[in-house]
Amino acid sequence: MTTSQRLRALAVVALLFGALTVFSGGRALFGGAAARAAVGNAVDFVLWFNFLAGFLYMLAGWGLLRRQAWARHLSTLLALSTAAVATAFAVHAVGGGAFEARTVGALMLRLGFWVVVAWVAHRSLRGAQLAASAEGG
């Protein structure tokens, strides 16, 4: 599989991941008492971050499918911001704050995914951008 094919596959996953994130986060945030109870000891700032980031996941996926240079930067921003939220979550947890153990796994999955997407996007789109610059100049 070429880097370009990997990027396309990751872009599709990002679109789906974003849609699922918005749906599940929206249900947890706006679904009422039963939906809130189902998420247990969710950490509010993590829940809000994930919900809002879901929209950016879809935007990044769309941009990556269209091979837009800005999408590689958005992917990097998503990886870095997820790392920042994971760090804040760790401080919260170590400080004795209530949390669900599954949040640790979910943050690690999101962080790992966006690190890989950013890496592949930079490899794939940087090469394409350099080739386009060479042809134009």
Checking if the pLDDT of 132 tops 70, the result is: no
Q: Which of 114, 100, 94, 113 is nearest to 28 (CA)?
A: 100
Share of the chain above pLDDT 70, in %: 92
32 band by pLDDT with thresholds 50, 70 and 90: confident
Interval 68-88: pLDDT, tens: 999 999 999 999 999 999 999
pLDDT at residue 133 greater than cutoff 70: no
DSSP 35-74: HHHHT-S--HHHHHHHHHHHHHHHHHHHHHHTT-HHHHHH
- In angstroms, rounded to a whole number, what is the distance separating the alpha carbons of residues 71 and 79? 12
**In the chain, where the domains are located:** 3-132
Distance CA 100, CA 43 (A): 8
